[in-house]
Amino acid sequence: MGWQGRPVALAPVQHRRGEGTAVARRSRILVGTAALAALALVHRQSPGAPVGAIHTVNAWRHQTPVHSPLSPAALLQGLRAALSRNGAHRHAAAQVEALLEERYAPRAVLLTESGTAALTAALVGLQRDHEAQVVAIPAYSCYDVATAVEGAGARALLYDIDPRTLGPDLVQVEAALRRGATAVVVAHLYGCPVDLTTVKRLAVAAGAVVIEDAAQGAGATMSARPVGTHGSLGVLSFGRGKGLTGGRGGALLAFDDRGARALERVRGMLAEPRRGWTELGLISAQLLLERPALYGLPASLPFLHLGETIYREPRPLRTSATASCAIVAATWRLADREAEVRRANAERLLLELRQQPGFAVIETSPTARPGYLRLPVITSPHARRAATQAAARRLGVMPGYPQPLCDLQPFATRCLNRNDAFRGSRLLAERLCTFPTHGRLDAGDLAGLERWIREWGRSQ
């Protein structure tokens, strides 16, 4: 399948305000939905339930595109931490910091309310004398990268992404550095590691800093080192779909003198942590509703916006909630095991994908070990259309980000080169889709995904 494609007209992305209130409202809705789903599950499992009721529930089987492992014990740890008043946050945060130091060996750690907050903090910490910083960012990435640039009051120079590798277009990175970018953000999309060697060399020559966005990199390594350890600063996320979760949360890690200075500069700017009641509500709903027999219920409710890619307004910087820290620490080892499951499931699906002309798999470095938060592939237009249909959604198949950042209207005033071509990023917006890899997939789910791949991959 060729890599070139005619750009299609893309609808403007939804721009939502009042995100803090919306998160709390979504938490209440999800908890209420979880209660209804629990009643449905009890009804399904009751000995006296009619056969028709069982078929009705089974018809709702729906896989979530991503999954972070949780347990009732972890939820209980979070609840205890939120209820405690005697140094609970210090204790929970210290547990997470110790785990991060053991795995990543950073010079300094800053826990934040989200991965977006961690990236925002990195950009704020790197600013000099309140000047408007210019940062090079990928043209195809999570919209929260744009939110972080906005939140830091910075300006952005976009660089294109190679559709074959999901890595940076190095010519465009160098051009952004020549135009004055003082930092380069490189992201490991969907858990596919990017080799930062050349980017770091270009950045050093220009006196710039490399920020490694490893928000989607749970379980991934490059050259036998975890992603997030290869730049001056590393960004981690503990959001609900990031492979390791506390409901929300993130971390900024520093690995050299310049990164450590930036981190310490911003440390005092973070607001005090919340106890984490919203996170506990979201985690409770997730623990129940992510079951394939039940996920169809929240997925069918359009006002929850599940699976949608939206731009979020910046939020004030804040330290990670107490409950979030406790849950991250309690699920750390579960997340390690989950990463191994994702790799095994991805390898099985890749065997089928490589045989079909309608799909092109992403190339990774021989020294990379992907975490496969999701399995991204480039599809034919035929298969990409199929990925938007209900049958594919029930399998957990999803399109990628619907627009490159250059087309994101709320970001227009921050973007200095939005009229450039970005052909690779536009192709990704039009052709990329992802397959689930997580541990909730059983043998029947994997067989169903293989059938879907064969059905839609035969033709280009």
User: Which pLDDT value is given to residue 221?
Assistant: 98
Q: Where are the alpha helices (DSSP H) in 223-289?
A: 257-267, 277-289
Tell whether 345 is covered by a domain.
Answer: no
Rg of the Cα atoms in the chain = 21
User: pLDDT tens digits, residue range 92-101?
Assistant: 999 999 999 9
Give me the amino acid identity at 140.
Y
- Under-70 pLDDT residues of the chain: 1-60, 129-130, 304-305, 459-460
Tell whether 78 is covered by a domain.
Answer: yes
User: pLDDT tens digits, residue range 370-395?
Assistant: 999 999 999 999 999 999 999 999 99
The pTM of the full predicted model, rounded to 2 decimals, is 0.88
Tell whether 387 is covered by a domain.
Answer: no
- The strand order across the sheet containing 108-112 reads 108-112, 250-254, 233-237, 209-213, 183-187, 134-138, 155-159
The pair of structure tokens assigned to 400 is 């990628």
* Contact status, residue 108 vs residue 253, Cβ threshold 8 Å: yes
User: Which pLDDT value is given to residue 56?
Assistant: 34
User: Which pLDDT value is given to residue 437?
Assistant: 99
Torsion of Cα atoms, 123 then 316 then 261 then 246, to 10°: -100
Q: Looking at residue 281, which CATH number applies to its domain?
A: 3.40.640.10
> Residue 68's closest CA among 324, 249, 243?
243
Tell whether 450 is covered by a domain.
Answer: no
Tell whether 428 is covered by a domain.
Answer: no
Tell whether 58 is covered by a domain.
Answer: no
Place of tokens 């330290």: 319
> Residue 142's closest CA among 308, 266, 363?
308
> Residue 404's closest CA among 415, 392, 391?
415
User: Which pLDDT value is given to residue 19?
Assistant: 40
Tell whether 399 is covered by a domain.
Answer: no
* Contact status, residue 165 vs residue 363, Cβ threshold 8 Å: yes
Q: How far apart are CA 245 and CA 395, in angstroms?
A: 23
Q: How far apart are CA 429 and CA 450, in angstroms?
A: 23
* Contact status, residue 263 vs residue 359, Cβ threshold 8 Å: no
> Which residues are paired to 415 by β-bridges?
156
User: Which pLDDT value is given to residue 306?
Assistant: 72
Range of the domain at 211: 15-44+67-332
Domains of the chain: total: 1
User: Which pLDDT value is given to residue 59?
Assistant: 56
Backbone angles phi, psi at 149, to 5 degrees: -60, -45
Tell whether 51 is covered by a domain.
Answer: no
